[in-house]
Structure 1
Amino acid sequence: MRKRVIFFIIISLIILHATAMGEAIRYDPGLNWQVLESPHFSIYFSMTQNNEQLAQQIADIAEKTYHQVDAQLGSPNKKNHHFQKIAIIMEDFSDYALGFASSFPHRVIRLSLTTPTAKSFDMKFKSWLKMVITHEYTHIEHFDMTAGTVTTALRALFGQILTPNALQPIWSIEGLAVYNETKYTAGGRGIDTRYDMYLRMAALEDRFNTLDQISGYYLTSWPDGTVPYIYGQSLIHFIAQKYGEDKVVAISNIFCEYPYLGFNYAVKRATGLNLDALYQTWKDNLKEKYQLQAQKILSQKKLTISQQLTKYNYWVDFPCWLSTPASEGDKIAVRVSTPHSYPFIQIVDPLSPSLPLTVRSAKNLSQPLVKRVYGSGSFFNISADGSKIIYAKLDDYEQFYKFYDLYFFDLKTEKEIRLSEGLRARDPSWSPDPKNPQIVAVINQSGTNNLALINLHSSNLSINENQRTYKPITKEDMVYLTDFQDGTQLYQPSWSPDGKMIALSAWRQGYQDIYILNLHPDDNLSSNNPNSNNIGNSPLQPIFQDKSIDLSPCWSSDGKYLFFSSDRTGIYNIFAYSLLDKKLYQITNVLGGAFQPAISPDGTQLAFIEYHATGYELHLMEMSPNQWAEVEIEDARCIEPPIMTVAEQQFNTDPKNLNTPSNSDSNSNSKNSYPIHPYHPLTSFWPPTYWIPAAQLTENGLGMGFSTELKDVLGFYSLPLSITYGIINNSLSYNFDYYNYSRLPILNLYLSGNAVLSSPTPWWEEGKSGVNIYFPFKGYTASTTNSRPYSQIFSLGYQYEKFSTTTDTPSSLNTDPQKTTSLKLGYSYSDAEKYGFSISPEQGYSFSLTYEHADKALGGDYTFNKLIFDGRKFIPLPPLHQVLALRLVAGTSSSNISESDLNGEKFKLGGSYSADNLSNTEVNTFSLRGYKPATLEGNNLILTSLEYRFPLANIEHSLKLGPLSIFLERLSGTFFIDIGNAWESYSNSSSININTANKENEINSIWHDFKYSIGAELKADFNSKYDSPFTLRLGAAKALTDPKGYDIYITLGSSF
């Protein structure tokens, strides 16, 4: 038992500390940050964005949630002392919805004000803020739990890094949080029709994911990283229903008391079943439930017959008809998201003999129309004359923001032109009048959407073959058609054929319905809502207002019908509403789900997206109005699913209950007025909230100590530090690495060293200190057809280093430490691109160029120069994910390095090392596979590598190693050639007369001394449940210039 406890302590600290070492979230330092203080929370918000009133509302929601969840998960054993309140950071810096919770170094909830789109999950919640705070605060409470002597004592000893329940499988962690979404908000994903659809099709097609696949965020194949949410919420609901809600909490209580006995122990002790048996019972239960549901559907109506046009096994959406010459027939444009490539817009020909399109056929037979359409939450639209496509991309904006902006793609010139910067516009839709090029688009701000009319003429936009510049859309080009300020969400506006009306899907206070905006108010327009008054000051009028989720409105070509997708039968299907006789018809009848209808220009065909167990695919069916099933309007407004989900049986989700006091937490004004003060980083920077044991092995022996990190809540200041003490020789090792992100450029100060404390001057026996200044920048490559994101960093630095000489030269008899003082310059750039199933970057390039100048005039003992270049180029090959990778490293330094004691500054070539990061002047050791380490040394270096990389298998399963398991994502192979040399050059200051012949001999010698090797590697890509990937390589290399030069090696990381 003692061994298990010790093993648990070591492994949990390593895993949790590694999880915390990801890249810091950096906020705009120019914002005026304020802090609102409620009894249990500190709400961080930007006064620059005028979010004070919203911060008060969030504090009210958070305080109520605190008492709800604390009553559920809290216990006397769990109460741990904290120096600070729970932080909630209000983020309106991205148009991508996000909720995130972290328990260390601070207890923080990152709260996105942007609401997720309806394609992420159903909008069955009264308030997005209430739902996401409930979800994330459940994580905080869950991770804060300890029980019994061991974990409670360890928490008191190590601080907030000791979070036993964070070691649970991710399906359990996320499942509990989603369970509470529904329990405390009468909404959430526990009653989500879309999540229910995912499980139904997995059951009916017998394609359940395995337990190891749902235990982390690491799954790449469908349904990707959402799988622990989908499966977890259902498993937790199943446990609560079958064994009682107290067993859900009991599992966490048992696990956090005995984490070293494993999660299976906790599940079995709480439910009487081991984990595998529980999972199988749950699957059997779902199969029975969904088979009964399928039988009921089939008994009522035949399934819709349609042609499947794609088989990407991921996500195809937003079908849009493209009119072409009559001889070619109409085609369908769709957006394709797949882990095999960047997201793109693809043209699908319904008459093509190569249907359905797959990843391989799309790559080999037809190129994407528009490449890199980043951001999955916005659709695209085609102009009335069929010459242009307009769409939105989720782009980096001013370094700290990620907003949707509008783009044109001209089908004649095949050029892409950007229309806006920082507009936060998505879902653009063309006016049907080709002579009046206007669009409507949804504008996002502070979590509320509004509809804007944009006149493209006023932006003086024109597209020609040579165009590279544009005039961005400005406020003068826009007219707002709505003025919501209450969290309303708008989706997919669609113009009527006559241009007089716009239909859209809107979410308001728990209801997702179809609305119509009449651009000509004098025209009479009525709806089936008995209270069809305008909404506030908005001219939007609802067609229905019920608990059904109604999405993606689309007009018939004659404007008489409005098609849309709805879950009003318990399964998403396509419906049509007649505006003339106010009748509702069901068009499709599917087992999965039917979404996003698109009517062909001649009105004879319906394109739509159908869900299968492997993802969303494009389908096509004939329009047969005589087969439409009329649905009674009154029934449609109150219809129940054929078989209620577990969550709906457990929780009362009738819409009328959404208006009760317990669920009215959305956008009403706060009744409290909590105090506000400016943000002071020091209050959260000190004291540290955790520490972990640290060990360091040096030439002075083994040192033991601690490691921690000081960091403020907003991440403007960071100081990782470690200190170890060597007992045998009374030595001390230390490392401090301070970063200041509070303004640009980024400032870095560092100090590290080793010292024998008995020395007269202990603190600078050996070590280095310095300062770096970084100028980061992100942008997009200048291409009108294939623009890629890139990042670049320019850096300036100063370094002072003290070291002991180790050579046998006479100068080494001086035992005094030597020192170098140098200035450094650096530049790095990368636009390399890789995808979910990539085994390597697949295209683009990256490089770094760094220079170091050491000078006695700066206070050092040496003067020298050092320059190094490291470049990588990745070329995609026609077979999927096969890559030709090239690397060139060239370095040179002053020849006096070789004549001094600066052995550590020489380039060393040989061995098998990893080079995941670009090299700089601090890196002196380079791989030359097949040769022993440091086979070649010198002040000059040339190294080139050519690799052919190819995939072998996508595994996506865990390997069990005793009590541990690691997730093996994929296997790949590599054939490589390495060529390199490191050599000494003659000193220009030498008294030897170097004539031309000697120089020629030197050059000949350099070329003659180049070493060559060939070999092969097997690469395994692993991942942890918190998505912390790592690579293991097994290689064999042959040194071609050495008959005995063979090497077999295993190493972590990529070759480059």
Structure 2
Amino acid sequence: MLRRIILGSFFGLLLAWAEASPVYITFPSDVDWQVRKSPHFSVLYPKGQDRLATRTLQAAERAHVILVPIFPDGPDHTWIVLGDWQDATNGYSLDLPFPHIVIYALPPSAHGELASLGDWLDSMVLHEYVHTRHLYPARGLWKAMRFLFGSWALPNAIQPQHFHEGMAVLFETEKAKGGRANSAYFKMFQRMAVVEKKWGTSEFVSRDRMDGVASLWPQGASAYFFGGVFHKDLLRRKGEKGLTELYQSYASNWPGFYNGPLNEVYGKGHAEIWDETFARTRKESEVEIAKIRKEGVARLRYLTDSKFHKWDVRVSPSKRYIAYRSADPDKLSAFEVYDVKKRTVVRRVETPHGGSEGFCWGKNGRGDQWLFVRPVSDGDRSLFSVYRYDLSRDQMDRVWVDGATSVHVHQLDCDSQTDTVLLYQESGGKGKVVEARFSDPLSAKSGRVWEIPEGSWVTSLLFGASHWIALRNGPRTDLYRWDAGVSAPKRVVSADAHVFSLHATANGQILTVADFDGRLEPWRFLPSKKQFQKKLTLLGGINAVASRGDFAVMSSYRHGGFDIAVAKLKEGPVRKVSNEDASPPTRERASISAAENYSAWSTILPRMWVPNFLVVPNGMQIGVWIPAFDIAQKHEYQIVAGYDTRGKPFGEISYNYRFGGNYNLGASANFWPSYIQSTRSFFDVWGGNVALSWSMFSLNWRLGPAYRKVEASGLGPSQKSVGVEASVTKSFGFKYRADGIAPVAGTSISLAHTQYLSLFGSTDSHFRSVFSIRQYWESFWLNNHVFMFQLQAGFAQGTALYNSFFEGGGELLFYLGRVSFLSRGFFPGRFLGREIATFNVEYLFPLFRIERGWGLTPVFLKTVHVGLVGDVLTRATGLRHRNDRYTYSNDELFKKFYFSAGVELKTEWEIFHYLPAQFRVGLYHGFDPTGETLYLNFGLLAGL
């Protein structure tokens, strides 16, 4: 999970957990943390969120009581981090370097699969704690490895994703209210696959694709859906005892040999169990389908046929257009506008969705206007904010409320003029509904505010003379009416169903989506009678509804995803509801400590070390990597040490302290013997630096003192340099497709300068500067055909060549960052100089989308793509220094150019079920007598 592995090259095989940037550090640095504790957990939370922290600990202790009998091997103590810097409901669990759970504690989207959770916080904690205890056991040789190497020896971690997620989905369903395994959402997937005769066939899914692929529905939900079906069947066969025996057996198992434990416990392998499961569940769905058809299934007319994900449907004020959110792996996420008269999509408004919902369409003197919710990324944060889109001007702008950017917004609705808006905001366990009026198109001032009850969440808002609010309270939905001039809304009814997507019809009725009958269908709410009336019976289900005259406009599911459909509303059965309070559950309460200020000492000590084996020209490097960070990610350090069989030890220690608004104070010290490939020279280099990093003016800055010492060698006398390092970087405009081979747009620019001074014993006064700019453009003729242009230049002066130089040429090893000064048709390290510049261009395009494996073998081929590449390099040795002992060719910069070109074939894989990998074969030609006629290079990179 935490490091990059590089395997293989033209020169040999490398298996290394190599030192690199800590990609696992993701928390914001400016959070003021506090801690509360219970007998088995500690919760780390932002100051002021004490109530949420207490609720989380109570949920965790309940989960502990439930799961210990099923997973007897587990950690004595587990950390839980509550994050409010991501507005999309999510979480994860890791047992390394220490057991911890991270929960982005926000209620789920009303239209998605997580809406099936009863008490969303209890269910999320239970789900993630299943992972914690499931991953923990280590038996047999794995137990000895954990004793020797530490916490990274996790045999149960190396399993298909649908094993992990299926187990957690099973227990979130069986041991808590609600849950996905029995949800209307997941049953809809199964039912429609049976209707279209895809259930149990490779057209829907094969065993190698059950973890999910981007191009096939249900994409990222696959591991949860299929895993839930599989584990529900295992539970039916031998109960919880069988699951305990199974995962204890896996704790001594080796990657890829998954049938052994299944045969041991259930007497059958994965394929045979699935065949029986598909047959049994097909019969169950056929019975359900026959029952639904007896009710009289509505005839739907589909307007679109692109499948995948659509939601948030709205009809324009003129009734001519239908707009909705769309997420398709072959396209960037967008709002699509369908013209009813032309019967086609006439506009796509590209914008990130990120699970957000909330969208209204009005019209005023400026023309048609949208208000909608979308995520906004700022450093380590991604928060939902309100935007206004002017259709006539094709202009999108962020909305401000009470003088600040609107954040943590999860639902909205507005009046027909888009002059007043109703917002639902939630963060840190506290939610509120706000009525705000615009003083200008982009600035609103809040009026009435309603603080919603703790533990509940808003599924839908309906703006009107009296506003309506759908509020989930556990598995129930309460409908509130907020009359004009009243400070707080009044509850009208409480329904035993998930109710959302409230929509006012032309005759003043309220159309909504509800799952009273176990399916997501359109219902009409009748406030005066306190009842709901079904308007359409569906075989599948819907996740959004709007009305257009007597017709419902829906995002309707059919096998493969959602499409926009219309159907005439009909009179159906009535479901009466009450306004009675639900009986609160009786729960034991664990003892919770008082709040404490956070201290890093309890989690900062290292808990694992990873061996390093690196094959290099004429030798091997053998070493260890020791990573560590505290639970708040304020402190992070790494130790790398080892021995080079060519006769040199090496080592580095680095430390980073993160604080304030994305500030980072780092220090490092190292001893790295350097090897110049072109001269086969080997010399010793000591180094160290202290640097402050921060963000300002949308730029990333770095500044600090640096020390460097080169020991005397055959290249020249000892050199000592003391100076200052500075750099600035900027990245913007990056866009990605779900199945993209590269960014389809984006620019990155960087400038780094090091100035060494004649102070504190410095041998020379010299400097070193590097500039880089990279640009991605997608072709206008085909999706995912991408051009990459890169210009890099380096300039150094004032010291001996061996003390400060740049190398250019091809590659020894393939790695994601590639060689800085790349000229692929020449031997690695062919060019050496104080001044160097390269221009690289690549045309990248997909060749095949494979997305197949071999059963459960932990190797999965995703895509094959091609790159046509070209490089131009120019360099110069620069001004000669008194300590330069050797004569080097002295080409003039920008006078002599070296050209190369070639083709690269790249294959993208997933190994061990989680680890992205890329294998590349490159064939290049250098257009110069010093170049290679045909230079073959290949390698494998794997990393997160």
Structure-2-length-normalised TM-score: 0.88
The alpha-carbon deviation at position 520 of structure 1 amounts to 6.6
What residue number does 2:10 align with? none
Matches within 5 A, 1:300-315: 300-301=295-296, 303-315=297-309
The alpha-carbon deviation at position 842 of structure 1 amounts to 0.9
Q: Are 1:770 and 1:800, in contact at CA under 8 Å, matched by a contact in 2? A: yes
Q: Partners in 2 of 1:21 and 1:243 — Cα distance?
A: 43
What residue number does 1:528 align with? none
Secondary structure at the aligned position of 1:348 is classed as strand
What residue number does 2:360 align with? 381
Q: Partners in 2 of 1:193 and 1:658 — Cα distance?
A: 24
Aligned: 1:487 with 2:440: no
Aligned: 1:72 with 2:70: yes
What residue number does 2:268 align with? 273
Aligned: 1:892 with 2:860: no
What residue number does 1:86 align with? 78
The alpha-carbon deviation at position 740 of structure 1 amounts to 0.8
- Aligned counterpart in structure 2 of residue 347 of structure 1, from 337, 348, 358: 337
What residue number does 1:1046 align with? 934
Secondary structure at the aligned position of 1:352 is classed as coil
Q: Partners in 2 of 1:19 and 1:893 — Cα distance?
A: 25
Q: Are 1:199 and 1:230, in contact at CA under 8 Å, matched by a contact in 2? A: no
C-alpha distance 261-958 of structure 1, shift in aligned 2 (>3 A): closer
Q: Partners in 1 of 2:19 and 2:829 — Cα distance?
A: 31
What residue number does 2:7 align with? none
Q: Partners in 2 of 1:230 and 1:891 — Cα distance?
A: 52
Letter in 2 for 1:174: E
The alpha-carbon deviation at position 234 of structure 1 amounts to 1.4
Aligned: 1:117 with 2:109: yes
The alpha-carbon deviation at position 333 of structure 1 amounts to 1.2
What residue number does 1:996 align with? none
Q: Partners in 2 of 1:675 and 1:278 — Cα distance?
A: 49
Matches within 5 A, 1:421-500: 421-432=405-416, 434=417, 437-457=419-439, 461-462=440-441, 472-473=443-444, 477-495=445-463, 499-500=464-465
Between structure 1 and structure 2, the one with the greater Rg is: 1
C-alpha distance 933-693 of structure 1, shift in aligned 2 (>3 A): closer
- Aligned counterpart in structure 2 of residue 674 of structure 1, from 585, 593, 596: 593
What residue number does 2:897 align with? 1010
The alpha-carbon deviation at position 153 of structure 1 amounts to 2.7
What residue number does 1:944 align with? 839
Aligned: 1:284 with 2:279: yes
Secondary structure at the aligned position of 2:802 is classed as coil
Letter in 1 for 2:151: Q
Q: Partners in 2 of 1:233 and 1:18 — Cα distance?
A: 38
Structure 1: state its 5+ residue gaps: 1-12, 358-365, 463-469, 522-536, 639-654, 757-763, 780-791, 992-1000
**1:672-709 deviation digits (Å, cap 9, x = unpaired):** 452432211122212x2222333466899756553322
- Aligned counterpart in structure 2 of residue 978 of structure 1, from 856, 868, 871: 871
What residue number does 2:491 align with? 541
What residue number does 1:827 align with? 728
The alpha-carbon deviation at position 746 of structure 1 amounts to 0.4
Q: Are 1:739 and 1:748, in contact at CA under 8 Å, matched by a contact in 2? A: yes
C-alpha distance 676-438 of structure 1, shift in aligned 2 (>3 A): closer
Structure richer in helix, relative to its length: 1
C-alpha distance 20-304 of structure 1, shift in aligned 2 (>3 A): farther
Letter in 1 for 2:333: P
Aligned: 1:230 with 2:179: no
What residue number does 1:247 align with? 242
**1:227-283 deviation digits (Å, cap 9, x = unpaired):** 111111111011111333322221101110233672221112111111122222222
The alpha-carbon deviation at position 773 of structure 1 amounts to 1.9
**1:743-775 deviation digits (Å, cap 9, x = unpaired):** 45201111222699xxxxxxx964322122211
Aligned: 1:22 with 2:12: no
Letter in 2 for 1:266: P
Letter in 2 for 1:631: P
Q: Percent identity?
A: 18
Secondary structure at the aligned position of 1:73 is classed as coil
Q: Are 1:44 and 1:90, in contact at CA under 8 Å, matched by a contact in 2? A: yes
The alpha-carbon deviation at position 825 of structure 1 amounts to 1.5
Q: Are 1:912 and 1:929, in contact at CA under 8 Å, matched by a contact in 2? A: no
Q: Are 1:442 and 1:491, in contact at CA under 8 Å, matched by a contact in 2? A: no
What residue number does 2:382 align with? 402
What residue number does 1:509 align with? 474
Q: Are 1:218 and 1:1024, in contact at CA under 8 Å, matched by a contact in 2? A: no
Q: Partners in 2 of 1:907 and 1:20 — Cα distance?
A: 22
What residue number does 2:207 align with? 211
C-alpha distance 769-16 of structure 1, shift in aligned 2 (>3 A): closer
What residue number does 1:801 align with? 708
Q: Are 1:35 and 1:42, in contact at CA under 8 Å, matched by a contact in 2? A: yes
- Aligned counterpart in structure 1 of residue 154 of structure 2, from 135, 139, 163: 163
Q: Partners in 2 of 1:702 and 1:393 — Cα distance?
A: 50
Q: Are 1:114 and 1:448, in contact at CA under 8 Å, matched by a contact in 2? A: no
C-alpha distance 618-567 of structure 1, shift in aligned 2 (>3 A): same
What residue number does 1:926 align with? 821
**1:377-420 deviation digits (Å, cap 9, x = unpaired):** 322111244521111222235x4543222111122332222212
Q: Partners in 2 of 1:700 and 1:1039 — Cα distance?
A: 25
Q: Partners in 2 of 1:481 and 1:1026 — Cα distance?
A: 47
**1:175-230 deviation digits (Å, cap 9, x = unpaired):** 11121212221322222111221232234331432222224x76454322221111
What residue number does 1:650 align with? none
- Aligned counterpart in structure 2 of residue 54 of structure 1, from 49, 52, 55: 52
**1:809-867 deviation digits (Å, cap 9, x = unpaired):** xxx3x5xx433334222111112322212111111211211112233435333332222
Q: Partners in 2 of 1:657 and 1:571 — Cα distance?
A: 23
Q: Are 1:890 and 1:943, in contact at CA under 8 Å, matched by a contact in 2? A: yes
Q: Partners in 2 of 1:190 and 1:728 — Cα distance?
A: 57
The alpha-carbon deviation at position 489 of structure 1 amounts to 0.6
Superposed CA RMSD in Å reads 3.5
Count of equivalent residues: 903
Q: Which moved more, 1:253-262 or 1:715-724?
A: 253-262
Matches within 5 A, 1:164-179: 164-179=155-170
Matches within 5 A, 1:461-860: 461-462=440-441, 472-473=443-444, 477-495=445-463, 499-519=464-484, 538-546=488-496, 548-559=497-508, 561-579=509-527, 584-600=532-548, 603-621=549-567, 623=568, 628-634=570-576, 659-661=584-586, 664=587, 672-686=591-605, 688-695=606-613, 704-724=622-642, 732-743=649-660, 744-753=662-671, 766-776=685-695, 792-804=699-711, 812=716, 814=717, 817-831=718-732, 832-860=734-762
Aligned: 1:102 with 2:94: yes
Q: Partners in 2 of 1:748 and 1:292 — Cα distance?
A: 64
Q: Partners in 2 of 1:728 and 1:886 — Cα distance?
A: 38
Q: Partners in 1 of 2:342 and 2:465 — Cα distance?
A: 36
Letter in 2 for 1:372: T
What residue number does 2:924 align with? 1037
Structure richer in strand, relative to its length: 2
What residue number does 2:6 align with? none
The alpha-carbon deviation at position 671 of structure 1 amounts to 6.8
Letter in 2 for 1:411: L
Q: Partners in 2 of 1:1019 and 1:778 — Cα distance?
A: 38
C-alpha distance 593-43 of structure 1, shift in aligned 2 (>3 A): same
Q: Partners in 2 of 1:280 and 1:797 — Cα distance?
A: 63
Task: Report which structure shows greater RCO (CA 8 Å, sep ≥6).
Answer: 2
Letter in 2 for 1:795: R
What residue number does 1:641 align with? none
C-alpha distance 246-18 of structure 1, shift in aligned 2 (>3 A): farther
Structure 2: state its 5+ residue gaps: 1-13, 675-682
Q: Are 1:406 and 1:426, in contact at CA under 8 Å, matched by a contact in 2? A: no
Q: Are 2:707 and 2:722, in contact at CA under 8 Å, matched by a contact in 1? A: yes
Letter in 1 for 2:728: Y
Secondary structure at the aligned position of 1:553 is classed as strand
Q: Partners in 2 of 1:703 and 1:1033 — Cα distance?
A: 24
The alpha-carbon deviation at position 28 of structure 1 amounts to 4.1
Q: Partners in 1 of 2:751 and 2:298 — Cα distance?
A: 61
